[in-house]
Structure 1
């Protein structure tokens, strides 16, 4: 799809934010001043730096086969590699969630059948398999898709202090902490040769603090960590036997003696995470002391005092408690409020607008909010699609006619209100002529906005959008809404930066920064795809959505070179890909208050201005891998 852009280019409402200006530079956060360190801490940091230098060279692990995503192309940044690995994990995870949901349906059907038969001698009942996250990890390990399969000291490239993991399995997927259950990750004897031959193994590399032990003491910058083993696995955190100085406990002891710091991750209760916890990386800590003592329950435990290394991003109490920012609880708490609800009551959930940039502050103006796409008079939507004959909700992908268009499967899982398993060429949903009801999982994108959004003013990009709620990967965020026009009827000379060209063909071909889709889908309008002589379909899409004068929240979502949303074509009321609905889905697990962005999909020097000259526009997305230019 080619987007002629919403809000990043120029705000048509307020002229004060002008991204065309060469004089306005991207803001760069100031670096922390590193204080003078004691000799021991300098030694620790020097050893970490040395190890980091070693890791940048050719990798040859002792007794461990080199494999995995560390062989990704070097032109990708470390953060991009981490993001792509987590997206791959989420795709595998949702695939196994779908398998679990199918088994659950069969299991329930079997139980009902047994209750209905008085003397049934059918197969014995089996429990539904769980832990799709662990199955996803197994698939990644088998496919050598773990980002850093070899353990390493110090920081992990691409994972900064404050990075949030939504499960222990995510940490394993990128190689940050290699065990989904154990709190201490360490190098074993297999690492005792080669470049690590000067170290005594085992040696700890990371720990997770998540309140599992009653003897833990967490004061943010300093921690008293209880060793592993001997605790009650029923969940009451109590010790039931003595701990032993072995495995992870011995590894932490060796960390004290060899001045090797460990990565510290803190886990906190979180309703957004499927595992009930969320984990944040709080930086490198030096293990300064260890000892054995009688714990609260009277059993021997090993204690380790850890101190956070200086020179790292500041660690605040709110960070330790895993709160990125405080979401307002009422209208009176919203700072810079300029409009209580930009929708005027059209959406079920109000969308406030805030402005802490302009003086005096102004609200977004110059448009009329609309909840659904409006069709221009000269545009006729196709009719005649019969739809499926399912009743209530579509459950069998082998019999549902709509599912057959999706490769005989449903593209969504039920979890979290419906999540798209992976980006597809086109998603076929059930429509108005289908027999199923609104609760059908194959209508996920049709249910409207379900998250609390805020439109806010930025210094460089005009208006922007963020969510007050956590958005899981694969969740529908919003539809791009406006007036559906023929492209030829739109005035190309006007300064309208809210035109979205509907071009499923370009999306299928993997235009520019967008990932190439699988194309494992049955397209009913196949004739429209197989016309090599039709240059119009390649260059000028026949239809577009104009959100300049009429639009919804999507018109305020900015471009990013490293976005957290992706564009997805969806067909429901008809099967003409030239008139597909344009949906934005979450590409990642998006924490509250993070700006929502997607890739506008421009190729450099591809857009001409009214004067016929190439139009250039600078990008202010702020991503580490920013291309510097949007056009």
Structure 2
């Protein structure tokens, strides 16, 4: 159970900056998981709904447009489904039609969560929310609603009015503000982030030029902030930043919202605003004892082109780890041993096959042309449960983790830009390898990565497991356990999503019973001597990537490709991690003794041991 705020009493000292103080006892878990993980789970659920409704909104726009028949889609005559929809929206706006064909999957996603009672904090609370730290980024107003940080999609001041008053609030005068958003919509807002001047709300032409058209009135949110000042109740402050070009291509709201922490309202007054009408002003001062604010430079941070001379980039030890094999160069930075770069392996960008491993012939393909757009006529879509696993947003994003994803292959009629070839496009994001203090090499991205986007494939030598030598000393082995995961063999957790596995396409001598009788996977990818950037991605007990098995050229699940996808919206410079999923005490050394390796991921869900 989550207890409502009780600690902000008349006698409470506000400059404590305590976390979770609003709930009486320190709240560290919700339904058995950490509050940090609970927040992450809700945002993942929101993104799942968002991608689902993105696809539905594309279809809806086309139905309204009426410009694409099933026959045209099936035969590839519509070149870009999303471009066609956007073009129709622009045309509708230019012609000033009342019924604009707009796509707002974010609104549909949050409506779904609200209707199903799936948001994290159902009621409004004062103060910090456990699991949401200072500096937490959100990529839409709807995401903040999903976790309860700010429950309004349009208005800037989220407040508790008289109808919400409960017995524990006896003695307070309502309304009281719980959270405010500074989004730059008012010309009068300014401040240095430690102390800000905030403009009240109301009497503003939101749909038009966003200009003040009359005097503001002391009511609702404006009155709430006044009461916050009188009763010394702090308010959460979220600051909106405009995305630069590289962000705005992938962030649909064109803004990133950052939680700056708790502020005390220290004063208020009214004055003539920039448009000449009366506005209310509030001076807010940040409470002491909170985490440091995220620098605005970090929000808009760009490393710069790695082609600059090495002296301009401290710590650069390698300009391109791939030696030109990838479309994007992969720089390497080391601030702990400046002369050291990764050694002991050769970079490759595709799987090498061991001599004793036979690759099945290419599977039959679909008859689509150009791009696969109609799931009813695409045989590859039918293998994925009757629909495409990707939505064509941001270059292709996976709806959700599945047992296996069937992509279009060499015998398909579609081209390389088909959305059902999303994981075959190579590196889309600017990755860099860097040295850490405790975990060795690590990987991060200089680009924002949206959830569901493919990050990289795990590349190495495709080998048979039973022919590996010194397996306990090899930290770069990735077992291909696609079939075992599908069947839940060995306690593996099944994935979501229905697929139709074409057993006739497996190697002739292998049948389903043989596969089920195998306690361990037959094949693995060994990246110890040959590999790509994926070999440097570290483990985390609370990862931001997930592993997805993919079949593209053939349909033998024992030899599936291993691709890492974004589980969350990943901000720039955040380390990329996935769960290695070792069982404790599962690694045996050459001496027959169980080996142990501590985990240094440092997350709230850390299991303390890797194996």
TM-score range, shorter chain: 0.7 to 0.9
Aligned position for 2:316: 337
1:450-498 deviations in Å (ceiling 9; x for gaps): 1111111111111111111110000000000011111112114562211
SS at match of 1:416: coil
Aligned position for 2:133: 160
Give the number of aligned pairs.
565
Are residues 1:327 and 2:303 paired? yes
Is the Cα–Cα contact under 8 Å of residues 445 and 476 in structure 1 kept in the other structure? yes
Aligned position for 2:122: 149
1:143-195 deviations in Å (ceiling 9; x for gaps): 11100011100001100000000111100000110011110001122332221
1:26-82 deviations in Å (ceiling 9; x for gaps): xxxxxxxxxxxxxx996335798896243768xxxxxxxxxxxx99522x1110000
Q: Structure 1 CA distance, aligned partners of 2:492 and 2:236?
A: 34
Equivalent residue for 1:312, pick from 279, 290, 304? 290
Change (3 A) 1:96 1:515: farther
Are residues 1:204 and 2:177 paired? yes
Equivalent residue for 1:263, pick from 203, 224, 236? 236
Q: Which moved more, 1:288-297 or 1:205-214?
A: 288-297
Aligned-pair CA distance for 1:622: 1.9
Aligned position for 1:138: 111
Q: Structure 2 CA distance, aligned partners of 1:258 and 1:47?
A: 17
Q: Structure 2 CA distance, aligned partners of 1:49 and 1:540?
A: 45
Aligned-pair CA distance for 1:626: 1.2
Change (3 A) 1:125 1:300: closer
Aligned position for 2:333: 354
SS at match of 1:278: strand
Structure 1 segment 477-626 matched on structure 2, within 5 A: 477-493=455-471, 495-508=473-486, 516-525=494-503, 531=513, 534-536=516-518, 539-626=519-606
Structure 1 segment 437-516 matched on structure 2, within 5 A: 437-493=415-471, 495-508=473-486, 516=494
Q: Which moved more, 1:124-133 or 1:187-196?
A: 124-133
Q: Structure 2 CA distance, aligned partners of 1:150 and 1:43?
A: 24
Is the Cα–Cα contact under 8 Å of residues 240 and 257 in structure 2 kept in the other structure? yes
Structure 1 segment 47-446 matched on structure 2, within 5 A: 52-54=22-24, 72-74=30-32, 76-110=33-67, 128-234=101-207, 236-270=209-243, 271=248, 272-315=250-293, 319-320=295-296, 323=299, 325-330=301-306, 331-332=308-309, 333-358=312-337, 361-383=339-361, 385-446=363-424
Change (3 A) 1:202 1:530: farther
Q: Which moved more, 1:347-356 or 1:331-340?
A: 331-340
Q: Structure 1 CA distance, aligned partners of 2:323 and 2:297?
A: 36
Q: Which moved more, 1:237-246 or 1:261-270?
A: 237-246
Change (3 A) 1:321 1:230: farther
1:371-429 deviations in Å (ceiling 9; x for gaps): 10011111111125211000111010111000011111111111111110111111111
Is the Cα–Cα contact under 8 Å of residues 403 and 482 in structure 2 kept in the other structure? yes
Q: Which moved more, 1:447-456 or 1:502-511?
A: 502-511
Q: Structure 2 CA distance, aligned partners of 1:200 and 1:626?
A: 43
Aligned-pair CA distance for 1:298: 1.7
Q: Which has the higher contact order (CA 8 A, sep 6+)?
A: 1
Aligned-pair CA distance for 1:565: 0.3
1:285-321 deviations in Å (ceiling 9; x for gaps): 00111112221222111111101111112236xx245
Change (3 A) 1:304 1:41: farther
Q: Structure 2 CA distance, aligned partners of 1:147 and 1:55?
A: 18
* CA RMSD in angstroms, aligned pairs only: 2.7
Aligned-pair CA distance for 1:127: 5.2
State the 4+ residue runs in structure 1 displaced beyond 6 angstroms.
46-50, 510-515, 526-529
Q: What TM-score, normalized by structure 1, do the two folds share? A: 0.84
Q: Structure 1 CA distance, aligned partners of 2:19 and 2:349?
A: 54
Q: Structure 2 CA distance, aligned partners of 1:291 and 1:50?
A: 31
Change (3 A) 1:445 1:375: same
Q: Structure 1 CA distance, aligned partners of 2:210 and 2:383?
A: 50
Aligned-pair CA distance for 1:274: 0.7
Is the Cα–Cα contact under 8 Å of residues 203 and 255 in structure 1 kept in the other structure? yes
SS at match of 1:578: helix
Is the Cα–Cα contact under 8 Å of residues 43 and 259 in structure 1 kept in the other structure? no
Q: Structure 2 CA distance, aligned partners of 1:567 and 1:370?
A: 20
Change (3 A) 1:41 1:99: same
Q: What TM-score, normalized by structure 2, do the two folds share? A: 0.87
Q: Structure 2 CA distance, aligned partners of 1:511 and 1:627?
A: 23
Is the Cα–Cα contact under 8 Å of residues 619 and 626 in structure 1 kept in the other structure? yes
Q: Structure 2 CA distance, aligned partners of 1:533 and 1:455?
A: 37
Q: Structure 2 CA distance, aligned partners of 1:583 and 1:624?
A: 26
Is the Cα–Cα contact under 8 Å of residues 87 and 587 in structure 1 kept in the other structure? yes
